[in-house]
Structure 1
Amino acid sequence: MSFARALTLFAAPGFFRLWLIGLLTGIVRWLEMLAIGVYVYDITGSAFHVALFSISRMVPLALFGAAAGAVADRFDKKSTLAIVLCIVAAGSLTLAILTLSGALELWHIAVGAFVSGILWSIDYPVRRTMLSVMAPRDQIASAIAFDSCTNAGTKALGPATGGLALALLGLDGVYFTGLGLYALSLLLLWPVARPVSAVRAAVAAVESFWQTMCDAMTTVRRDRALKSSLLVAVIFNLFGFPYTAMVPVVGRGDLALDPFTVGLLLSGDGVGALLVSLGIAFLATNAMLRRIYVYGLMTSQFAMLAFAFTSHALPASVAVFAVGLGAGCYSAIQTTIIILTAPPESRGRLMGLMVVCIGMAPIGFAHVGLLAEWLGASMAVGVIAAEGIIALTLVRLIWPEVTSAPFASDK
């Protein structure tokens, strides 16, 4: 796909506004994750406590992911997104006031992280599905890759600004920043046209909520390529993504870095993911997607293994950058695989199942947190990296379709 044609996606005002909303909410997500991780570790000195706060943010994905997918297929997506943005903005305001008044306790932060996770749980089945509706089918991969670029960019910018904001403004400044970005997201959403779908309306009229969810599970059971793709998502969220909770611990404890430098370290992950997502947006074809999805994640797991055995900031930064390159391949493509596989009337509910797979991350965070208490943060990262390599190899051997099955439009 040419550079110029890929950029035509942004000519649609609705697409551009939804893309900007992803940019702003992504900045808040990563800013808070880094700032809270450093803050909690400085107070408790416990890697497991840091992991627990990451778990609080991820739990809504497991609890509400499938439901969010069903809701996305039955109700107005724009209204759903607006309501959740109002909820998370209110949460940020409450935490900022508690911090300023000196009444903030750790459990308040955990509740706030949980509330923020609600927005994350509806992002895939609601906002990303809206994006896919606005893109031609042959440009869906580019549309989602551009959105993944945004997530990767915020993963690069958010931790750096989070460390800086925590150092300069304190935790209250972090929460006020989140409030402002959520408010701006609501303003951007206001003019976006509501996606109208006769198919969605018909589905909502005749299907029960539980029937909608059961149909999604039936689709997955019958499609080996879809099933194995979701298993890859489970592997990433059990053995890949949780390493991010250990980066502040390794940075502060093992490498003796200040909060801002810890933020820069984690930002390397986002930079790597941003670069590879841009490459996918402009160069990847549908035939490449499944292989990039699987082998990119394998690359990320090996880079995590290298990170576990570094003892200096520079090689640690290189390893984190390499993790970002591999994980960026996975992240840029996971949504596209679901959208290209699912019929339009089922995309929301199947995206909801993808969110449930992402919601497995709390188990992974608890796992790496307990390992860190027992073995130390660096060794814990090494263990989950090895577990991920083994699990991904087994999926590739048992379900070869995960890297080779054509999409329906390519058959």
Structure 2
Amino acid sequence: MSVMFRALGNRNYRMWAGGALVSNIGTWMQRVAQDWLVLTVLTDHSGTAVGITTGLQFLPMLLLGPYAGVLADRYRKLVILKWTQTAMGLCGLLVGLLVLTGSAQLWQVYVAALCLGVASAIDGPARQAFVSELVGQDNVSNAVALNSASFNTARLTGPAIAGVLIAWVGTGPVFLLNAASFAAVIISLWRIRQSGLFPTVPARNGKHPVAEGLAYVSRRRDLVLILVMVGILGAFGMNFAITNALMATAEFGMGPGEFGLLGSIMAVGTLAGALLAARRSGPRLRFVLGGALGLGFFTLVGSVSPSFWLYAAVLIPVGLASMTFLNSCNTSIQLSVEPQFRGRVLALYLAVLQGGTALGAPLMGWIGTEFGARWSVAAGGSIVLLTGLCSVIVVSRSSSLTFRDQLRTVVVRKRSRNGPTQDTEAAGQARGV
């Protein structure tokens, strides 16, 4: 099997990946339907309302994420995922029924978004950490990249399908289709063979497990840098649902089909970024920094694009840069964090990423509503670019390595004869950042 798809040689991973692909397509369809429902049916093109909906969906990760990480470190991740995936499917089913019966109101969509966010907050750390149990440490980097490829394949097709269906039958059936798509991932979870898993030793029952996780991160300057960058980029540079909706409708006067098309065009870039990551042996610091700089630069270019199609074209490098950044951050954590802390650190990563989006989404939506869609896009791009430049300066000044050596640093882990994983010299060097 090609090196790019080596993780698919594992039966359990194939089961998981197949179900996740179907579910991800449904999820992206619902995201488009939800934004369109709020933007054009329940409000009069209110970017603020879309921002609040997005914020409510991601806010629980900021509040509950660290505790969800404790659950992922202490309990069986497979069991957690079965419950959370079921709960998320029920959220889509409820909104779909409300829309079809003509009784949907804005506050109900807010409540559903919040409930979906709670389920997602518990699901996220367990799902991220479950990857290493599916394929083992040697194939984690490839599996993370393939997960991203699956996610972005869905991102490529889901919005386009949603745009057509919304124009054809409305938003309600799209929510119902998403609810049905969760059956695929739930069935795949039940078909996973536990004998083929690579389970980690559960974390001990300490008195302050969240504080232990935070203390671990605070001792790792490389993790602190990653989390700071992820938080800022998540808040100001990755509110694509809001900015694309405002640009498509308010700036270019397009309909649901074109709005869905923007998500699919952007997915071309994110899918390319994921596949390129699948070929790499491990994360390098230059991909973290380069991804941030590229995201800021091309977002600024998009803010001044004179036409819909030029704006859509710019979304391809925007997607490539964002996926390069996120994949490198995620893989760095998966490979360099001790197994007993992995769930908590991944939970903190998701809390910072999605929590940043929850805090930034209403602000970006307000800027777009009050000052225009282009100002919202430009503000996000400027902040992201400045963050990337500041991170380059911090890295270049805070390590004994030369800057060129730092950019080439690869985070890897190897298994000792006695079983526990140990950091190699390269990972140790990366911690000096």
TM (norm. structure 1) is: 0.92
Match status 1:180 vs 2:180 = yes
Q: 1:379 aligns with which of 375, 381, 388?
A: 375
Matched, 1:319 2:314: yes
**Helix, strand or coil at the partner of 2:201:** helix
| Cα shift at 1:410 | 4.5
- Give the gaps of 5 or more residues in structure 2: 400-405, 412-422, 427-433
Q: Judge conservation of contact 1:37–1:50 (CA < 8 Å) in 2.
A: yes
Range with greater deviation from structure 2 (148-157 or 269-278): 148-157
Residue matched to 1:409:
424
More off after superposition, 394-403 vs 167-176: 394-403
**Structure 1 spans left out of the alignment, 5+ residues:** none
Q: For 1:4-403, list aligned pairs within 5 A.
A: 4-43=2-41, 44=43, 45-194=45-194, 195=197, 197=199, 199-200=201-202, 203-204=203-204, 206-208=205-207, 211-282=208-279, 284-286=280-282, 289-358=284-353, 359-400=355-396, 403=407
Identity of aligned residues (%): 21
Pick closer, same or farther for the CA change 1:114–1:17 going to 2, 3 Å.
farther
1:226, 1:341 within 8 Å by CA — same for their partners in 2? no
Q: Measure how far apart 1:406 and its partner are.
A: 4.9
- Residues 246-272 of structure 1: CA deviation (Å, up to 9, x unaligned): 201110121111211111112111110
Distance 1:89 1:124, change over 3 A: closer
Separation in 1, partners of 2:142, 2:390: 30
Equivalent residues of 1:372, 1:379 under 8 A apart:
yes
Aligned-pair distance for 1:343?
Answer: 0.8
Deviation at 1:139, TM superposition (A): 2.5
What displacement does 1:26 show? 2.3
In structure 2, the CA distance between the partners of 1:243 and 1:96, relative to structure 1 (3 Å rule), is closer
Quote the offset at 1:84 in angstroms: 1.0
How many pairs were matched up?
402
Comparing 300-309 and 15-24, the one that deviates more: 15-24
- Change over 3 Å in CA distance of 1:24–1:110 after alignment to 2: farther
Provide closer, same or farther for how the CA distance between residues 159 and 119 of structure 1 changes in structure 2, counting only shifts above 3 A: farther
Distance of aligned partners of 1:410 and 1:28 in 2 relative to their CA distance in 1, 3 Å threshold: farther
Q: Give the CA deviation at 1:397.
A: 1.5
1:18·1:127 contact (CA, 8 Å) conserved in 2?
A: no
Counterpart of 1:379, as a letter, is W
Give the letter aligned to residue 74 of structure 2. Answer: R
Query: Which structure dedicates a bigger proportion of its chain to helix?
Result: 1
Amino acid at match of 1:366: P
| 8 Å CA contact retained: 1:95, 1:109 | yes
| Aligned-partner Cα distance in 2 for 1:390–1:56 | 27
Deviates more, 1:148-157 or 1:71-80: 148-157
Alignment partner of 2:33: what SS?
A: helix
Say if 1:138 and 1:237 are closer, same or farther in 2 by CA, change over 3 A: same
Q: CA deviation at 1:392?
A: 2.3
Q: Is the 8 A contact 1:35 1:171 kept in 2?
A: yes
Q: Is the 8 A contact 2:68 2:122 kept in 1?
A: yes
| Aligned-residue offset at 1:198 | 6.3
Q: CA deviation at 1:293?
A: 1.9
Give the distance between the partners of 2:269 and 2:425, measured in 1 at CA.
30
